[in-house]
Amino acid sequence: MKRRVFLGTAMASAAAFSLSARGVMAAAKPFEIGLILPMTGPFASTGRQIEAAVRLYIAQNGDEVAGRKIEIVLRDDASVADATKRHAQELIVREKVEALAGFGLTPLALATAPLSAQAKIPQIVMAAATSSITEASPFIIRTSYTTPQVTAKIAEWASGDGVRKAVTLVSDYGPGIDAEKTFIKTFGEAGGQVVESLRVPLANPDFAPFLQKVADQKPDAIFVFVPSGVGAPFMKQFVERGLNTSGIKLLADGGVTDDDILDSMGDPALVAITGFHYSAGHDSALNKEFVKAFGAANNGSRPNFMAVGGYDGMHALYTGLEATKGDSTGQALIEAIKGKAWESPRGPISIDPNTRDIVQNVYMRRVERIEGKLWNVEFQTFDAVKDPGKAG
């Protein structure tokens, strides 16, 4: 008898529990975001920065928006486009995710674009920076930056600063060539002249012959675009050759003085004048809080431009979902995010309603040693810059 009572109550309570659980689930099916990043391989630092920022955003803003629980499904594509596409497919079909995010490099974002278009779900590009990406699918929204967006402003600043004769030196791959073309065009229109365009093979980091060529040309400035890990050896060799004291300005895309590794670059980094959309040294209360929280959650490391792209990507999804009151159909979400403007750790930004690309400030910075550590210190701001590749 006793036993039967016990069983009965147990069953009843189990039933009640499962009922209530089902009730909660029906009220709020979780909003799953498939986050595809290079977590291993040569671009693993990109993946780590973005993942850390995404988790930080969720920790700071709660994991519930408009009654929907936010869940992240992380996949590692090791920066191989085939793997990105396969993961995206699995995430859409099997995991039923309602948004895709991440994408460390241009080919990875492009490989996924047809899938986001077909499945009609938002694809948030948090890192890849080729201008054309947002045109590849009407469901792409970008929260990183574009190479021409930054490079055009560096060229503009250079000609305003009295640079007449410049040499470009870029790594021989897509983004490098993008940067080279943009610089030559913008600098030329501003009345400057690019006397030599050097392309350095990606696999060979000894810059000796190229730098010697620069030294012999004696330009007013050299514009550099190389992947972030290569920036440090480049600057060392620039200094080794004595170019820093020869009156040749070193202008570069901010990837060269990547906040992630800037402090370990040492004094040679002090020669660089860079243009970029984010510096961990950006002087705003929001950014100070962001840098502090990021460091506290990640062993004292600094957020870089990748991290801020991931952070703002999450913000875009959160505000979109809030605006649609939990309606997660792709069309509704994209419409809700278009034209949104907010304050990011990098400064004021917005999503261009026509191109779905990010509009943001571009800052000119120089490297300075502050309390023993190296930082990118901003000294001039170009307000609300659109991607020039699509602005016209």
Interacting residues with another protein (CB under 8 A): 40-45, 198-199, 201, 203-206, 208-210, 212-213, 229-230, 232-233, 236, 239-242, 260-261, 264-266
Q: Which is nearer to another protein, 213 or 340 (CB)?
A: 213
Query: Taking the complex as a whole, how short is the minimal distance between the CB of residue 232 and another protein, in angstroms?
Result: 5
Query: Taking the complex as a whole, how short is the minimal distance between the CB of residue 343 and another protein, in angstroms?
Result: 30
Query: Taking the complex as a whole, how short is the minimal distance between the CB of residue 326 and another protein, in angstroms?
Result: 39
Q: Which is nearer to another protein, 29 or 241 (CB)?
A: 241
Q: Which is nearer to another protein, 45 or 116 (CB)?
A: 45
Q: Which is nearer to another protein, 50 or 349 (CB)?
A: 50
d(CA 298, CA 293): 9
Query: What residue type is 260 in one-letter code?
Result: D
Query: Taking the complex as a whole, how short is the minimal distance between the CB of residue 310 and another protein, in angstroms?
Result: 18
User: Are 38 and 78 spatial neighbours (Cβ–Cβ below 8 Å)?
Assistant: yes
Q: Which is nearer to another protein, 203 or 285 (CB)?
A: 203
Query: Taking the complex as a whole, how short is the minimal distance between the CB of residue 21 and another protein, in angstroms?
Result: 39
* DSSP annotation string for 29-80: --EEEEEEE--SSTTHHHHHHHHHHHHHHHHHH-SEETTEEEEEEEEE-TT-
Q: Which is nearer to another protein, 133 or 248 (CB)?
A: 248
What are 168's strand-pairing partners? 197, 223
Angle at 100 between CA 94 and CA 106, to 5 degrees: 125
d(CA 126, CA 215): 37
Site of tokens 């040569």: 42
d(CA 170, CA 198): 6
Instruction: Give the list of residues 6+ apart from residue 88 with CB closer than 8 angstroms, or none.
Output: 34, 36, 100, 111, 112, 115, 116
Query: Taking the complex as a whole, how short is the minimal distance between the CB of residue 303 and another protein, in angstroms?
Result: 15
> Taking the C-alpha atoms of 220, 225, 226 and 231 in order, what is their torsion angle to the nearest 10 degrees?
50
Site of tokens 């100070």: 288
Q: Which is nearer to another protein, 176 or 347 (CB)?
A: 176
Question: What is the helix (H) or strand (E) element at residue 285, kind and residue range?
Answer: helix 285-297
Query: Taking the complex as a whole, how short is the minimal distance between the CB of residue 261 and another protein, in angstroms?
Result: 6
CA torsion through residues 130, 134, 135, 140, sign: positive
Neighbours of 370 (CB within 10 A): 9
Q: Which is nearer to another protein, 162 or 266 (CB)?
A: 266
* DSSP annotation string for 70-113: EEEEEEE-TT-HHHHHHHHHHHHHTS--SEEEE--SHHHHHHHH
Query: Taking the complex as a whole, how short is the minimal distance between the CB of residue 258 and another protein, in angstroms?
Result: 9
d(CA 355, CA 254): 24
Q: Which is nearer to another protein, 206 or 283 (CB)?
A: 206
User: Are 325 and 283 spatial neighbours (Cβ–Cβ below 8 Å)?
Assistant: no
Q: Which is nearer to another protein, 191 or 372 (CB)?
A: 372
Query: Taking the complex as a whole, how short is the minimal distance between the CB of residue 238 and another protein, in angstroms?
Result: 11
